A and B are shown apart, each in its own frame.
Chain A
Amino acid sequence: MLNIGYPGTQWDPFAELRQLQSQMNRMFEGSPRTASDGAWPPVNMWLGDDSVVVTAEMPGVTTDDIGLTVRENTLIIAGKRNPSTDDEDAAWHRRERPAGEFSRSIRLPLRVDPDKVEARAKNGILEIEMGRPDAERPRKISVKAA
């Protein structure tokens, strides 16, 4: 599971460390890039003022094959990856791309409003933008002069 910093912290040293570690893992021979720790798809997370963005590397998965579930502070990305070919007569020389059903649950740093979710896909990257419920937005309170 994800262990992320509090919203508002500027720097999460553990995120940096994990990123470094996954980069190191990827440098070694024989470890395909997307199978670093078994969790699929690999995600990045971005925090804004009143919203959070999750981007996921999902090559070859069309938007029709992706199901998103948002509940409070949890995002679930589920779907199915189709194999390169269904042809049983095809002879395989190399098979590295994972196929089959997947599901991943991601804890978000804030509660999000299911009505404020937007998802886009481009070049195999899925971007999910989620907004905070209006009632939980930090409000500015103006101070009146006496």
Chain B
Amino acid sequence: MAQELKTTGGDVARTGERDERAMSGPVYRPATDIFEKDDAVTLVIDMPGVAPDTVDVSVENRALTVRGVIQAPVPEGYRRIYAEYAPGTFERAFSLPDTIDADGIEASHRDGVLTLTLKKSEAAKPKQIKVKAA
């Protein structure tokens, strides 16, 4: 369910976006949890430093792509003396199985975590078939 499409750092060949990419620094693959419960699949994606209104979630040809640019403002009057993380872009793509309703994806972003709720399509839901007595 929701298998990962690309496992690279997100270095997808899309020439149209090259300039934009160069501006926003390296591309990182965000840590992701995926779990399934009843008729929903939930993706929980770590995107620290990304503002909720700049997160981009898109579905194209059953490929779900999430993208967000890290906003890391320099504290005013300070200079950096040590760094373990750097600005850049989070990007990751997942392929949606046919059992997922691509139109019914809900997204929320809180404390730097993007949560996507994917609903299974009606046809894929488990159905109880009643056995009639002959």
Which residue numbers of A lie inside 8 Å of B, CB to CB? 2, 4-5, 12, 15, 18-19, 22-23, 26-30, 32-36, 39, 42-49, 51, 53, 55, 57-62, 83-85, 87, 89-98, 109, 121, 123-125, 127, 129
Contact = CB atoms under 8 A, between A and B. Distances in A.
Nearest to B51: A123
B84 A42 contact: yes
Contacts of A12: 81-82
B69 to A, nearest CB: 12
B104 interface: no
Contacts of A23: 26, 86
Contact of B113 (A33, A59, A127): A59
B84 to A, nearest CB: 4
Given A12-B81, A47-B81, A121-B111, A29 B74 contact: no
B80 A97 contact: no
B91 to A, nearest CB: 11
Given A29-B8, A29-B9, A109 B81 contact: yes
B86 A19 contact: yes
A30 B42 CA distance: 21
A96 to B, nearest CB: 4
Contacts of A53: 75, 78
Contacts, number: 165
B49 A57 contact: yes
A124 B49 contact: yes
Contacts of B37: 85, 87, 89-91
A62 B110 CA distance: 10
A93 B2 contact: yes
Interface of B: 1-2, 4, 7-9, 26, 28-37, 41-42, 44, 46-52, 71-72, 74-75, 77-86, 90, 111-113
A28 B7 CA distance: 10
Contact of A93 (B36, B83, B111): B36
Nearest to A124: B112
Given A42-B85, A95-B33, 13 more contacts: A4-B81, A36-B84, A46-B79, A47-B79, A55-B75, A59-B47, A59-B48, A90-B36, A96-B33, A124-B49, A125-B48, A127-B75, A129-B75
Nearest to A35: B31
A97 B46 CA distance: 7
A125 B112 contact: yes
Nearest to A60: B113
A47 B78 contact: yes
